[in-house]
Structure 1
Amino acid sequence: MGRPKLNLENYRAFLVDLDGVLIRSFEVLPGAPQALEKLKKMGRVIIASNNSTRSRASFADGLQKLGFAVEPEMIVHSAYIIARYLLEQAGPSPVFILGEDGLREELELAGHRMADPDRAKFVIAGLDRALTYEKLSRALRALRHGARCLATNADPTFPTPTGQIPGAGAIVGALTGMGFSPIEILGKPSRIAFQIAMQAAGVQNPKECLVIGDRLETDILGAQRMGMDSVLVLTGVTAKEDLERSELQPTWLMESVAALVR
């Protein structure tokens, strides 16, 4: 028996990935702004992303310039999630980061402060395209002084218009190789990430959420763990060949987010 036809009216919230679904390195994917508008008319849309390179405000500003009607509060990304989680668990804390401006800004907005390795209580690892051996050495120093490690996500790669580049998972791998694995990885597919996204959407029942993403190991796995339906689009990381080899399957498969709302 085949899968039932997708009816978007069955959902109150849409948790939509960013990179590989709506954009690729701030290049708009065809029909994505129009698709997002149609989804917004049907329910609450949350941009649920593992990208920690920019703040929510910066992402919203950039997306608006690309033609997306997006406000900062619609964005729940790994930098926001980790900043909120740390605040709830430990209060405002001194941190040392392996990451970019977006991670730093979200941490500071939540009341955390940047600290030298000797004073940091947490090392926060995210995507850092300016990573150096010196930064890793300073992170190791903080960890050896008792700091605990948190990571935004463990995505092995990051999509760009010219192909895949190393993702935050490569940095997590470097820390693990030094003997310090993160005590928590807060982005997708963690339950925490999806719970915070649900709260932002104002829904309590996972069955009322539809996850739309391009990665099996984050979007689709996280949706499955939460009991949410999911749509995998083929405009990002996962290809049809990957899907055919995987035991992990989405509820539905679409060529693109634009095809989803046709």
Structure 2
Amino acid sequence: MIVLSPDSLNEIYARHLDWYPAIANPQSAPEFIDGLADIMGQFDLVLLDSYGVLCRGSTPIDGAPEAIQQLRANNIPFCVVSNDTLTNRSVAAEKYQARGFDFSAVEVLTSLDITEQYLSTLTKRDHIAVIAPLEHPSNHLLEGMIRLNGCNGEIPEGIDTLLFLTGAGWTAKMQENLVSTANGRQFELVVGNPDIGAPHGDHVTATPGYFIADLVEQTIQTAKPTLFGKPGRSIFSMAIEQHQITDPSRVLMVGDTLYTDILGGNAMGFKTLLLQCGVYQNQDIEEVISSTGISPHYIAPGL
């Protein structure tokens, strides 16, 4: 497990801005509110990040289950939009129910759902190496690929595409071997979870976005990665299509990370709400916004 500080997290994101949509900030400074209840009535759809918004690890964040019930009571549609690549929507609802959230499958959309769409189109797989534990929900779609977790991170000859699916089970030694065997080679890069880090308990741990950034920086990869999660457009587009949204300004994206939730939501034309209970917990939020150059429409301490 690699633990990151909020400062290092933002520094890595900032070094790779060309991977993400262009910054499109609101015209006015963010408005500080008490929580989602203050503004939910303005929207036809509320999109919610998971880690740092609803829960930290497997623990619900105070007030989050109650906020979901308020959305239901006001008949406001919502969807959890998560960069989770360990669960797709068919099983994610059960996971959230165990955490105290009564979600149905149609109320959850993960970057694994988007990644599985890509995997289902492949006709040839033996040129792809994937970072994912050997037991994974998408195993039926990963058949024929080289499983780097089973190779201790070493990339065999004949591989021209690297799929960074999930960091579960990925070690510092595997990352070292990945970098060593990638030196002098160029790859097509695909990432299911673009997050650099995610909050777990009282710290932030490295996720696939970190591993791909480390590879690119150490081996001078020239390909721009394909992103299947936030802040890429695919996951947002699927969410609004499924809810038949025609006016993006009537969508609210709620998140805890400026470079994924807020940057991605702003680029889609959504309104954005940044919560302070996630990766920026105990940080000076105005200073973080100033240093990143990314600004939300609203800021609240929690959901």
Q: Report the alpha carbon displacement of residue 222 of structure 1 after superposing the two structures with TM.
A: 0.7
SS of the residue corresponding to residue 60 of structure 2 reads coil
Which residue of the partner structure matches residue 21 of structure 1? Answer: 53
2:229 pairs with 168, 174, 187, which one? 187
On the 8 A contact 2:198/2:204 being kept in 1, the answer is: yes
Deviations 1:193-224 (A, max 9, x none): 21122123332321121101111111111111
**Which residues of structure 1 form unaligned runs of 5+?**
258-262
1:206 and 2:248 correspond: yes
- Provide closer, same or farther for how the CA distance between residues 162 and 202 of structure 1 changes in structure 2, counting only shifts above 3 A: same
On the 8 A contact 1:243/1:249 being kept in 2, the answer is: no
- Provide closer, same or farther for how the CA distance between residues 255 and 158 of structure 1 changes in structure 2, counting only shifts above 3 A: same
TM alignment of 1:1-262, pairs within 5 A: 6-40=38-72, 41-87=74-120, 90-91=121-122, 93-94=124-125, 95-100=128-133, 104-106=136-138, 108=140, 111=141, 113-116=143-146, 122-132=161-171, 133-134=173-174, 137=177, 148-176=188-216, 177-180=218-221, 181=223, 183-239=225-281, 240-246=283-289, 247-257=293-303
Which residue of the partner structure matches residue 260 of structure 1? Answer: none
- Provide closer, same or farther for how the CA distance between residues 130 and 191 of structure 1 changes in structure 2, counting only shifts above 3 A: same
Deviations 1:102-135 (A, max 9, x none): 8x42473xx5534235676742103313214457
User: Residues of 2 paired with 1:195 and 1:107: CA distance?
Assistant: 26
Which residue of the partner structure matches residue 9 of structure 2? Answer: none
On the 8 A contact 2:32/2:300 being kept in 1, the answer is: no
- The normalised TM-score by structure 2 is 0.71
SS of the residue corresponding to residue 237 of structure 2 reads helix
On the 8 A contact 2:175/2:211 being kept in 1, the answer is: no
On the 8 A contact 1:149/1:184 being kept in 2, the answer is: yes
User: Residues of 2 paired with 1:4 and 1:245: CA distance?
Assistant: 15
Of all paired residues, the percent bearing the same amino acid is: 21
Quick check: 240-249 or 29-38, which moved more?
Answer: 240-249
User: Residues of 2 paired with 1:204 and 1:250: CA distance?
Assistant: 21
Quick check: 177-186 or 162-171, which moved more?
Answer: 177-186
Higher RCO (CA 8 Å, separation ≥ 6 residues): 2
User: Residues of 1 paired with 2:97 and 2:265: CA distance?
Assistant: 27
SS of the residue corresponding to residue 79 of structure 2 reads strand
- Provide closer, same or farther for how the CA distance between residues 119 and 196 of structure 1 changes in structure 2, counting only shifts above 3 A: farther
User: Residues of 1 paired with 2:275 and 2:184: CA distance?
Assistant: 42
On the 8 A contact 2:53/2:275 being kept in 1, the answer is: yes
- The normalised TM-score by structure 1 is 0.81
**Which residues of structure 2 form unaligned runs of 5+?**
1-27, 147-155
Quick check: 127-136 or 244-253, which moved more?
Answer: 127-136
